[in-house]
Amino acid sequence: MGPSSPQFNPEELRRWQFGLRQADDNNVFCHCRQCDREWVASAHNVQCTCGSTDVETISCWQFPDG
């Protein structure tokens, strides 16, 4: 078996990584550990409407399409 070829050329890889960063920045699932509220925000450092900053954040692109 010979060496495997890369899936993307350098420019395609750069664009793919940029797209992931944008998705990560603009679609963040948030869960308040204090009151259990859930919402989608555009930032990882968020505060719940109940005042808690104990908020779990997960990038939405990590969830499979349904």
pLDDT digits (tens, 9 = 90+) for 4-52: 656 889 999 898 888 777 766 678 899 999 999 999 888 778 899 999 9
Bridge partners (DSSP) of residue 31 are 38, 56
Angle, alpha carbons 25-26-31 (nearest 5°)? 90
As a whole number of angstroms, the distance between CA 22 and CA 25 comes to 5
Mean pLDDT of 53-60: 89
* Helices and strands counted in the chain (H then E): 1, 3
| Predicted model pTM | 0.59
3-state class (DSSP) for residue 25: helix
- Nearest-Å Rg of the Cα atoms of the chain is 17
